Amino acid sequence: MAATSVDEAFCVLEGARTQSIVAVQRSFRTKFGKDPPVRKTSSSTKKFQRDGCLCIAKHPGRSGPSEERVKHVGKAFNIAP
């Protein structure tokens, strides 16, 4: 199963907080009850460090995330209104 944006964001934020891949893996398993997306996490972390976000470059004709998706991700990190 592919990593979701919530999975990636959790791993990047937890990695920044703990500075330990082992701690990230443990926290991820505890929170989500599944193995973390290790390979994807590594590339996501590099992208975040390079670009400052996990956003995928916008393509012409491609719409942004739905309002529902934005709320879902915000809720997952307790930042939704």
DSSP string for 6-66: HHHHHHHHHHHHH--HHHHHHHHHHHHSS---HHHHHHHHHHHHHHSS-PPPPPTT-----
Q: How confident is the model at residue 30 (pLDDT cuts 50, 70, 90)?
A: very high
pLDDT at residue 8 is higher than 70? yes
> 16-51 burial string, b = 16+ CB within 10 Å, else e?
eeeeebeebbebbeeeeeeebbeeebeebbebbeee
Where are the domains positioned within the chain? Answer: 5-53+65-76
pTM to 2 decimals? 0.51
The predicted-structure confidence for 37-76, as pLDDT tens digits, reads as follows 766 556 666 666 677 666 666 666 667 777 888 788 778 7
Q: Would you state the pLDDT for residue 33?
A: 92
Q: Would you state the pLDDT for residue 38?
A: 64
> Residue 4 has what DSSP assignment?
P
